[in-house]
Structure 1
C-alpha cells in the first residue's frame, strides 16, 4: 500500500484524484441521464468485482452532481473532471463540504488500515447530513465498500437510508452485494458493473504506466487492482509458487510450502496475503464448479465445504492473532492433499 495514501495500492491513482475512467460507458450514461431527469434514486448500489473502477465512477458522478447542482441544466454525459476546478480540487484533497468518503479508517496506534468500517465512521455521516450545506448543494456520501461495514455500522447506515435527508445522495459500493444486509440492498438502486474487457484493461493499465503481457492480462480477469498486485506486489510469483506446491510431493512440496508461507507472513505482506487468500478461494471454487459440471456432486460438495472451512480458519487466525505461517502451511497441506 502507498505510505502517504493508506488503502491505495502502489502504482494506483486514488479514485478521488483520478480524472479518467475506462469502460462502463453504459453505467456513466445511465447516471448522467437519471440525474438530469430529476428522478434519480437517493441511494445507488454500484456493484461489481474489485478493482474495475467502481470508486472512480462514484467520485466522477459526485463531481458531476456537485458541479451541476441543478439537474435540469446538467450535461447529458459525464465528462472527465477538470483538475483545475474548485470542485475537483476540493474532492481530490478531501476538503469538500458536500462530499464524505466512508472507508476503513486508519488505526492511530499502528498506522495500519483497520479491518472494518466502524459505527464511529458512520456517525460522521449522520453529523455530515445534519449540517446545512452553505451552498444549498447536494450532500453526497460514498461508502467504499459497504462490504467492510461491521454489523453495527451496517445498521447505522440503514437508519439513514430509511429516512434520507433532503438533497442527500448515497453511492454505495460493493464487491459482493449478496453479503450485504438485504434491507440495505432493498433501499438502493442497483447498478451492476462488469469486469473490464481486454481493450479497457490495456487503456487503464497504460494510464497507470503499467505494461502487462498476455499472461498477466488473463490472470487479472478484468481487474486493474489485480493487475497491480500481480506486477507490483509479486502476485505472479505467488501464483507460480502455489502451483508448485500443488504439483510437488514429499520433501519438495514441504520445502515449497515453507518458502511460500515465509513470503506471505513477512512484514508488510498484508496486500499480497489478501491476494493469496482470494486466489486460493478462486482455485477451490473453480475445482468445485468443474466437479459439478462433470456430474461429480460428491467432489463438488467436498470443495465447497473446504472453501467454507478455510474461510473460517483464516477468520479465527486473524481474530486471535494466531501464527500466520503455521496457518498457511496447514491450509496448503490440506489443499495439496
Structure 2
C-alpha cells in the first residue's frame, strides 16, 4: 500500500525502519517486549514529521523478531515489502490512479478488523499500524474503538497521531500513550546525509535550522529555493518586537502571494510551532498566566484567520499581516524586551 503522504524521492517509513532519536520511547517498548507485557494498543503521538511512522515500523520489526521464529533480517525484509502476514497497515486508500480518499473510511477499518480475526500466517505476535488515526472519519473512529475494546489475542495496535487532542477520549483511554518529540539537530543531520551523502554544508545547515527537529521538514526545506522567504521569517520570529512593521509587511507579501505554494504551507507550520512553543513556555513559567492566556488567544486567532482564508479564498497576504501584528502585540504586552532578545 502506497503512502499518501510520501515525499518524492524519499523511501517510505516501512522501508527505512530505523528512526533517529526517541531513545526513551524505544527503551520503554523494548522493556515491554522483553517482559512479554505488550499493551493492546500504543498511541504514538507528536508533531508531524519527527519519524513516528518510521519508529512504528522499527518497533513492529522488534516485536515480530522477539515473538516469532524468523531472524531479524528476514522480518525486516518482509516488513519493507509490506508482505509479512502478521502485519496489518491502515492508511488512506487510493481513490483512483491519481488521488487518495481524504479520510480513512469505516469500511477500511472493518476490513482491517476482519483480517485480524483470521488465522495468523506466522508464529508470534501480530501488529496493526494505523497511519494515521487522525485520518479516520467519525464512523471509522467508532468502529476502531470497538475493535480496541475487544482486541484479538496477541495483537498490538500502533496508532500514529499528529493531533492527539482531537481524538476520541475513549480511544486515548484504551491506549498506552507514548509522546514522541522533535529530535536533535545532529540526528536530523544524520537522516539527511544517510539519504544523500553529497549534500553540501550550507544546504545541510539551512535545512537543519528550519527543520525544528523534524526530518520531514528538513527534506521539504531542501526542495525549496535557497532564497526562500522562510529564512527571513525564521529571523523575524526570533525577535518579533525588534523589527519595524515594514519587515512583517514584506514577509506577508513574499509568503502570501501564492496561497498554494509550499513556502506558505511551511510558513504556517512555523507560525504554529512558534505560538505553541510560546504557550508551552508560558505554562512552565510561574506567574505567567497573562502571557499564557495571550498565547492561547493568539493560537485561536491565527487558526481562525487561516481557516477563514482557506474556506472563502481571502487574501492570504492580508491574513498574514493580521497574524504578524497579533504576534507583535502579544510580544510587546507580555514578554520583557530583555527576555525576547535572549
Q: State TM-score, norm by structure 2.
A: 0.76
Aligned ranges for residues 222-237 of structure 1 at < 5 Å?
222-234=213-225, 237=228
Contact 1:52/1:195 (8 A) holds in 2: yes
Distance 2:282 2:181 in 1: 26
Quote how far apart the aligned CAs of 1:225 are.
1.0
1:37 and 1:291 mapped to 2: Cα distance? 40
1:239 matched to 2:230? The reply is: yes
Unaligned runs of at least 5 residues, structure 2: 326-342
**SS of the residue 1:16 aligns to:** helix
CA shift for structure 1 position 162: 0.5
Matches for 1:86-235 after TM superposition, within 5 Å: 87-108=75-96, 111-209=98-196, 210=199, 213-234=204-225
1:165 Cα deviation from its structure 2 partner = 0.9
Check whether the contact 1:104–1:116 (CA below 8 A) recurs between aligned residues.
Answer: yes
1:69 aligns with 2:64: no
Q: 2:299 aligns with which of 298, 304, 307?
A: 307
Q: Tell me, in whole angstroms, the C-alpha distance in 2 between the residues paired with 1:29 and 1:289.
A: 26
Secondary structure at the aligned position of 1:194 is classed as coil
Secondary structure at the counterpart of residue 177 of structure 2: strand
- Cα distance in 2 for partners of 1:290, 1:41 equals 33
Q: Which residue of 2 aligns with 1:260?
A: 255
Task: Report how many aligned residue pairs link the two structures.
Answer: 314
- Aligned residue for 1:53? 51
Q: 1:146 to 1:214 in 2, by over 3 A?
A: same
Could you say if the C-alpha distance between residues 49 and 137 of structure 1 is closer, same or farther in structure 2, counting changes exceeding 3 Å? same
Instruction: Measure how far apart 1:19 and its partner are.
Output: 4.2
Q: How far, CA to CA, are the matches of 2:195 and 2:258 in structure 1?
A: 26
Deviation at 1:156, TM superposition (A): 1.6
Cα deviation for residue 285 of structure 1 reads: 4.2
Cα distance change, pair 170–254 in 1 and its aligned pair in 2 (3 A): same
**Under a length normalisation based on structure 1, what TM-score does the superposition of the two structures give?**
0.77
2:172 partner SS: helix
CA contact (8 A) 2:113 2:147 kept: yes
Q: What's the counterpart of residue 21 of structure 1?
A: 19
What's the RMSD between the two structures over aligned residues? 3.4
Report the CA distance shift for 1:262/1:121 in structure 2 as closer, same or farther (over 3 A). Answer: farther
Q: 2-side partners of 1:123 and 1:302: how far apart?
A: 44
Cα pair distance change 1:122/1:203, threshold 3 Å: same
CA 215–263 in structure 1, closer or farther in 2 if over 3 Å, else same: same
2:271 to 259, 280, 283: 280
